[in-house]
Structure 1
Amino acid sequence: MITNYFDLFNLPEQFDIDLQKLKAQYQLLQKITHPDRFVNASDQEKRLYLQKNAQVNDAYSVLQSPVKRGEHLLSLRAYKLADEQQTMGDTDFLMQQMQLREQLAEAESSSDFAALESDINDLTTHYIEQVRSQLATQTDDANHQAAQTLTKLKFLLKLESEAQLRKEQVLEDD
């Protein structure tokens, strides 16, 4: 059975969450479960609180990330996520990715990278809005669509990371 991270942080089980409340709950749970509080406890209790603390850290990481949070919601709904290696059948998205990758390969200046970052941010915002709407519906079809949109978001986040690295390399040489 999967641990419900929303329950752990006393948050509603939905895509939109209060990130300030998440942070406050994280800090509280960290204080409660931190292993340093249990230096005089038995080895078994120490292991238990170490596991609880690790679970709190994992849950916080998942709930902070829109992609991981969406995937967690789908897993709580018993929706099986596609394998990472599975190819995407959305040809429009694939064409868009090829154009963005070409834009990245050709970027040579700060303005080139700024334009690319803007395009990626616009698409990321668009897909997050789609996921928000799809996960709010809570139907099998909407869950399937949300899973596909989350896959697109992963591609964009990976591209964003690659763009940042390339930007540092290209602009560092100037």
Structure 2
Amino acid sequence: MTNYFSLFNIPEKFSIDLIELKARYQTLQKLTHPDRFVNASDQEKRMYMQKNTQINDAYFVLSASVKRGEHILDIRGFKRVDEQATHSDNSFLMQQMMLREQLSEATDEVSFNALEDEVTTLTNDLLDKVRNGLDSHNEAGHRAAADALTKLKFLAKLGEESLARKEQIL
């Protein structure tokens, strides 16, 4: 497995400077872009095309917080549980049901904004849990980070559904 942090020559941590990441991405893109190698051999063209694709994949992963957190866990050899094995966290299950109900009942700007605010607050709390869990560099921390990442995926999906419903209704 390729360590995307090494590829971009940045520290392996959850909190990264996205502006610096983008600058490094653009530099690496320029260095490996296939258009620079039109006169190269077919083998060299393939090599640079693969490297360029790898750089694109790495940027996609590192620029998205959930993907970045999962990548760190993968690098560290932590085995994540199946996404469908929903949490035994009853409070989060209740929160999910409440948020889904809030979404289904949202009919105006005020109700959608209230839902978005709640999702934003929950997201920020979970991002802190991921950061703290990964910073601990131990099994319990990794487990807590993985759990928070799974919850973040639910919130991201809910946010997308909320936006789609909001555009449909308003």
Band the TM-score falls in, shorter-chain normalisation: over 0.9
Structure 2 unpaired stretches of 5+: none
Deviations 1:49-91 (A, max 9, x none): 1111111011001111111110000001000111222221111
- Deviation of residue 42 (structure 1)? 1.3
2:55 maps to: 56
Aligned to 1:139: 138
Q: CA deviation at 1:41?
A: 1.1
Q: For residues 89-141 of structure 1, what are the alpha-carbon distances to aligned partners after superposition, in whole Å with 9 as ceiling and x for unaligned?
A: 11100100100000000000011111110000010001001111111001011
Q: Could you say which residue in structure 2 is the equivalent of 1:15? A: 14
Which residue matches 1:44?
A: 43
Normalised to the residue count of structure 1, the TM-score between the two structures is: 0.96
| Whole-Å separation in 1 of the counterparts to 2:81 and 2:44 | 38
Partner letter of residue 138 of structure 1? H
The answer for the alignment partner of 1:83 in structure 2 is: 82
Q: Which residue of 1 aligns with 2:153?
A: 154
Match of 2:121 in 1: 122
Runs of 4+ in 1 over 3 A off after TM superposition: none
Amino acid at match of 2:11: P
* Per-residue deviation, 1:40: 1.1
CA distance in 1, matches of 2:46, 2:79: 31
The alignment partner of 2:16 has SS state of coil
1:66 is aligned to 2:65: yes
3-state SS in 2 of match to 1:44: helix
Partner of 2:103: 104
**Post-superposition shift, 1:21?**
1.1
Secondary structure of residue in 1 paired with 2:88:
coil
Q: Residue 33 of structure 1 aligns with which residue? A: 32
Structure-2 separation of matches of 1:38 and 1:119: 50
Between the aligned partners of 1:168 and 1:47, the Cα distance in structure 2 is 43
Residue ranges of structure 1 left out of the alignment (5+ in a row): none
Counterpart residue type for residue 51 of structure 2: K
Q: Which deviates the most, 102-111 or 34-43?
A: 34-43
CA RMSD, 1 decimal: 0.7
| 1:20 shift after superposition | 1.4
> Which deviates further from its counterpart, 39-48 or 150-159?
39-48
